[in-house]
Amino acid sequence: MAGGISVDTLTETMVYRTLKDLNLPSVQAITYDGPVYAPKESLIAFHKAYYESGQCSIALTGSQAVAQALTALGIPNEWLLPSDQDIVVSLERALLSTSSRRSREGQIVVGMINIDDFGAQALRRNNEHEVQKLKLDIHRMVLDYVESLDGYFTHLGGDEYLFFTTRGIFERETGGYKTIPLAKDVNKTHGISLSIGMGFGPSASMAGTNARIAMRKSKEVGGNACFIVREDGTLIGPLEMADPVQEVLSFTDAELIKRAEDAGMTSAYLSKLLNQRARSGKYEYKVHELAHLLDITVRSAHRLLQTWLDNDLVEISGIEKVPRGRPRQIFRFSFLE
């Protein structure tokens, strides 16, 4: 293909995964990196700029209005439509909706948002006036996002925010618990990352407790993450934040969490492994790699791996030969596959 392609609506992860599946890894793809709900004019300007620069020879858009405007400008384009399978799945989901699911859609959702390392961010500002402007900008962006959720929002003071919404709205706005557009917008505008914890529950008390647990998970993996804890204790996450991830959704059921923790795998270790799996697709480690990821000594990593081997959480998948010294074993965390 002469020239690359410019793409909106889809994330960079989706585009590159599709190109890989089509055996077209050499095709240059430029994805729109602006707000999720960008105005039509911004998308048209994005495709037009890359077409006129010669970097792209065709535009792919998920908006019919944008496609029509590009055609009028003489820019080759394709309007991305959902596949028959996508439509069938959506219809089946609608047909299978039950009264219990409808009741869950009205379930309370509590969200907690924390600005990662805000103190360091404030120190980079020249004066207090700029720090206060930064706080106001972030406050406005969070307020706008909560408004899109038709939720209630309050500032807890400092660098933490709390909001309430319903499960049905939150599911729709996150694309089925896949991505948090607020985190991307804040990172792109101010270079700041967020830690977000979401809790579901039949009562406000349970939802709030689960949100705090989810926030702790986000902090344990180093921030710039969002986790969800559902009413049954099931953990979902990490959701896609500022950086694209290869698999935007990971499920860990409550039974697996209990089995892992019984085998000495703390929630902190499990969160770090889940986060690394979602970001890089990695589920095989050598001992020194695991020690670095979990921030423990190599000796401790050896001890933990032996315990996890005994409990069938880990298996030896291979051996790496090195020029000097003993061969290194490669351990596969099979439950992450």
Extract the residue ranges of the chain whose pLDDT is less than 50: 242-251
- 181-213 as b/e, with b when 16 or more CB fall inside 10 Å? bbbbbbbeeeebbbbbbbbbbeeeebbbebbeb
What local confidence, expressed as pLDDT, does residue 77 receive? Answer: 93
Domain 254-333 -> CATH class? mainly alpha
To the nearest whole number, what is the mean pLDDT of the chain? 80
Name 6's bridge partners: 30, 59
Which amino acid is residue 304, in one-letter code?
L
d(C-alpha 143, C-alpha 151), whole Å: 9
Name 166's bridge partners: 108
DSSP assignment of 137-165: HHHHHHHHHHHHTT-EEEEEETTEEEEEE
Per-residue HEC secondary structure of 39-97 comes to CHHHHHHHHHHHHHHCCEEEEEECCHHHHHHHHHCCCCEEECCCCHHHHHHHHHHHHCC
Residue pair 4/29 in contact by the 8 Å Cβ criterion: yes
Q: What are phi and psi of 36, to 5 degrees?
A: -60, -45
178: helix, coil or strand? coil
Per-domain residue ranges for the chain? 4-81, 104-239, 254-333
Record the pTM: 0.49
Nearest to 70 by CA among 91, 95, 52: 52
Q: Which residue has the tokens 């926030």?
A: 215
d(C-alpha 269, C-alpha 284), whole Å: 15
d(C-alpha 175, C-alpha 103), whole Å: 19
Dihedral, 133, 135, 140, 142 alpha carbons, nearest 10: 160
CATH number of 104-239: 3.30.70.270
Task: Give per-residue pLDDT as tens, 221-276.
Answer: 888 888 888 888 888 877 766 443 333 334 455 566 667 767 767 666 776 777 67
